Amino acid sequence: MTETSADAGDSTSSVVLPRRIGVVEDHESVVMGLEAMLSGHPNLTITASAPTVPELLATGSELDLVILDLRLADGSSPTSNVEQLRAVGLEALVFTSAEDPYLVRLAAKAGVLGVLRKSEPTATVIAAITAAASGEQVVTTEWAAAIDGDPGLLDVGLSPRQRDVLALYASGEKAARVASLTGLAPHTVNDYLARIRAKYAEAGRPARTKTELYKRAVEDGWLPVPHRHDRG
């Protein structure tokens, strides 16, 4: 906790500085709602907001916590967003409508402090932000369910080269084009794809078709999350 102290005889006075909150959210109304919620709480202040993690980090603001939406307009994965934040020493609290349970699970797997629904009462939201800003885990039903041994979160252990092949092939490229782009022989690409499918099958996450491979690549953060225009 950041505080300043001044001694006056036998007494010590402390002034607790407000926790600085960053918000990654591409709906301005949500940011405004959070600002309104926190306006009566001097120990919490929203210092910066941006529609993407890179843009928030580019502001150079000193932050104690980042409130992160799961589905952003740039199609970024919760996994990569949390990794970017943690790389600069920032923890995240997910604030979501929870319309996609798998994205919630990805965030939990990435190591967020908690998952909070946007529909929660104001008092619950404030309490959660207060706890997370102090580095505490925020245990909610969604967060607990997300980390409770879901087999869909099993790491299939793809090598970097296999991830490259998966991302290219699942995004729509044909095997011959993948071979050209990666410098691999066509038979090697086909061998990689067979191994990738086998690994997903062993993890209980079948990927028999190209569409299923695409879904797995999105789930694991190797391809961007498609943007839903009807998101609320």
Task: For 86-121, write each residue's pLDDT tens digit.
Answer: 999 999 999 988 667 777 777 877 888 888 889 889
pLDDT, position 146: 59
User: One fold for both 3-151 and 154-219?
Assistant: no
Pick from 74, 52, 49: which is nearest to 63 by CA? 49
Which of 139-153, 162-176, 204-218 shows the lowest per-residue confidence on average (mean pLDDT)? 139-153
Which of 23-27, 134-138, 172-176, 218-222 shows the lowest per-residue confidence on average (mean pLDDT)? 218-222
Residue-range domain boundaries for the chain: 3-151, 154-219
pLDDT at 128 over 70: yes
Pick from 167, 179, 172, 148: which is nearest to 219 by CA? 167
CATH code, 3-151: 3.40.50.2300
Average of per-residue pLDDT across 190-197: 96
More confident residue, 137 or 64: 64
142 pLDDT band, cuts 50/70/90, is: low
Q: Give the residue carrying structure tokens 């005889």.
A: 9
pLDDT in tens, 25-66: 999 999 999 999 999 898 999 999 999 999 999 999 999 999
Q: In this structure, are strands 19-24 and 44-50 parallel, antiparallel, or unpaired?
A: parallel
Pick from 35, 31, 36, 78: which is nearest to 53 by CA? 78
Average of per-residue pLDDT across 186-211: 91
State how far the Cα of 207 lies from the Cα of 190, in Å rounded to an integer: 14
217 pLDDT band, cuts 50/70/90, is: confident
Q: In this structure, are strands 3-8 and 11-16 parallel, antiparallel, or unpaired?
A: antiparallel
Pseudo-torsion of CA 187, 193, 199, 204, nearest 10°?
A: -150
pLDDT in tens, 67-82: 999 888 888 888 899 9
pLDDT at 9 over 70: no
Fold of 154-219: Arc Repressor Mutant, subunit A (1.10.10)
123 pLDDT band, cuts 50/70/90, is: very high
pLDDT, position 204: 78
3-class state of residue 42 by DSSP: coil
Where would I find the beta strands (DSSP E) of 61-113?
A: 65-68, 92-96
Q: Give the residue carrying structure tokens 């490259």.
A: 164
228 pLDDT band, cuts 50/70/90, is: very low
Q: Which DSSP string corresponds to 161-181? A: HHHHHHHHHHTT--HHHHHHH
